[in-house]
Structure formats: C-alpha cells, structure tokens
Amino acid sequence: MIKAGIVGGTGYTGVELLRILATHPEVQLHAITSRKEDGLAVADMYPSLRGRVNLAFSAPEKANLNECDVVFFATPHGVAMAQARELLAAGVKVIDLAADFRLQDPAQFEKWYGMSHSCTDLLAEAVYGLPELNRAAIKKARIVGNPGCYPTTMQLGFYPLLKAGIIDSGNLIADCKSGVSGAGRKAEISTLYSEASDNFKAYSVHGHRHIPETVEQLQKISAQPVELIFTPHLVPMIRGMHSTLYARLNYEIDNSALQALFESAYAEEAFVDVMPFGSHPETRSTRGSNTLRLALHRHGSTVIILVVQDNLMKGASGQAVQCMNLMFGLPETVGLTHIPLLP
C-alpha cells in the first residue's frame, strides 16, 4: 500500500483527491494537513465523505508527512516549493497540483506568479505531469508538476496536429470555457451563486497564467515558434471544461486523414476518447471521471478541435493520481475507473 499525504486539503482539488484515494485499492490515506482546520474531521467539512474517510485535518507539524510515500500539494502557488526539498530528502515523492513545478523557465514563473522560485534545482529535476505526452519521464520522477486544467485540454487537442507539422503554430486560438469550481473554494464575491449563475463572461483575456505553461509545452512538440491566443470564459456550471481550438492547416489534408492522425495518436490511451469526426462532446459526459473527450471539425483550411474534460479530474486531481500510478509502477487506470455521472 502506498501511504499518501495531502497538504492543504480543504479546497476542491483536495476533496477530489480524497474522493479518489479513499477507494483506490493501492493507497492508504496517511494524513491531510490544514493549519486552520487542525483537528476537524474531514467528514465534518465534507459530509459527502461521512463513513468513508475517517481522517481529521492536522496541522502540518503534526502530520508526519515524512512517513508518506507520496505527498500531494493541493495548495496555493508557492507552498510546494517551500516544502519539497525536505520531503524528497526523506524519500517521499511529490506531486504539486499548483504551478510551482510546471514552468521550466524560472523567469517565466517569476513573471507570471509574482514571486521568485525558491528551488530552481528541483525545478530543473521536476517532470511535467501530462502522462499522454510525457509518460516515460513521469515513471522515473521524484517530483511532478501537475498540469493546469486549461493546458491539459490545449496540449492534448493541438498535439497530433503540431507533431505532424501540418498546422501553422504561429496562429493558434483557444477559446476555452470552465465551470466555476476551477476558481477554487475561496470566499470571493465574483464566484458567489448570485453573481456567477445565469451569467456568462470572459475573464483574464489580457493574459492568463496558463499561457506560459502551454506555450512552453507546445514549443517542445512543434519545431516552430508557437503563438497562442487564449480566451478563458466562466460557465455557470460546477465542473466541466470545454475548449474550442482553432488551427490553420499548412496544406490540404482530407478529413479522414485528420481523424486518423488523432486516432492513432491516442489509440493506446485509456483516458483520451477520440469521438467520431463532426461530433459535439458535452462536458457532462466526463463529469466525475478522468476521461478527456475530443472531436474534430473542419471549415476550409481551419481545423476546429472540441475538447471536454472534468476540470477537477483530468484537469487536476484525477491526472495527479494517474501520475502517481505511473510513479509507483501501478497500472495507469487503477483507482480511476469512475463512470461519468449523467445526468
């Protein structure tokens, strides 16, 4: 059994980790930390876990995280990098769901997150945790930076086209839409029910933190410089993410060849579902599961890729557990076989 710890488990990615790990056959939950909620039973904050998770939150200094095999950071940016060195030294593997180990260029981290990176050596060692594109490295990693939710959809959506070199990497558009849980469990006016319900808006159109990470990874795939327009929007739903991606073909290719490109790229992937050409994937078809679905459309020289996922699963906690499975030599899907909840 893998002894797992969670730092900062009071947010949505934290409770989602608990939901997954509580039924994971190879995991034993060892500790979950929260300084503020020290002593509070997890099930008192999240009654959905009554009778299923018997842990209480504990202050970090009481949690003995060094005894874990793996520690997940479901914390604000900046926390993981402060604690990772000690854990690694104790032989604990680290998976950070925040941004501390996502961006390989520390200058980019400083620019977008407004703080300097406190352990650039670990950053250099850290592996970007998108299994479909980086599986071999994840298997050997001690420290994984789990991708952002939007970047997961953009990378898996553009990948087969960029890899094949058939689209103009200097003209990518990602018009993305996220459910409100993506904003986290923070007391803020803008995500109150009465503000976010029956409403739709774009936000951070001038520049969102998920851009540098996505561009960095897309550049690795493409031999060319990548220019990406990224427009995030807020949807009045709890979970779910829908990315509508636009790319321009460099030369003519027929639709069945396009489709074949995606089908062969993801033929062996348990968590990527390439739907029939011309389909319209729905976010609810992934609700509560680790599956990402996508479908292709075409108008002239423009390819449109529709991508959906559950932002808390494949977009965050599910993907983190997928990485954990790889890091510990387990089958990649173990503990991640939830069927989406529909309706």
Looking only at residues 56 through 95 of this chain, which bind a second copy when binding is defined by CB under 8 A? Answer: none
What mask, x for binding a second copy by CB under 8 A, covers residues 258 to 277?
A: ---------------x-x--
Single out the residue of 291, 309, 319, 322 in contact with a second copy (rule: CB under 8 A): 291
CB 277 within 8 A of CB 295: yes
CB of 296 to a second copy, least distance (A): 10
CB 222 within 8 A of CB 165: yes
The count of chain residues that interact with a second copy, using the rule CB under 8 A, is 81
Looking only at residues 222 through 261 of this chain, which bind a second copy when binding is defined by CB under 8 A? Answer: 227, 229, 231, 233, 235-240, 242, 244, 246
Among 153, 104, 109, 115, residue whose Cα is nearest residue 319: 153
Query: 215-241 burial string, b = 16+ CB within 10 Å, else e?
Result: bbbbeebbeeebebebebbbbebebbb
Give the H/E segment covering residue 155. Answer: helix 149-164
Q: Is 176 a catalytic residue?
A: no
Q: Is the CB of 23 or the CB of 64 nearer to a second copy?
A: 23
Q: Name the β-bridge partners of 128.
A: 145
What mask, x for binding a second copy by CB under 8 A, covers residues 117 to 156?
A: ----------------------------------------
CB of 122 to a second copy, least distance (A): 32
Nearest-angstrom CA–CA distance, 58 and 41: 9
**Binding piece for a second copy, criterion CB under 8 A, among 116-124, 253-261, 288-296, 315-323:** 288-296
Nearest-angstrom CA–CA distance, 91 and 67: 9
Give the H/E segment covering residue 17. Answer: helix 12-21
Looking only at residues 19 through 58 of this chain, which bind a second copy when binding is defined by CB under 8 A? Answer: 19, 22-23, 46-52
* 3 part of the interface to a second copy, by CB under 8 A: no
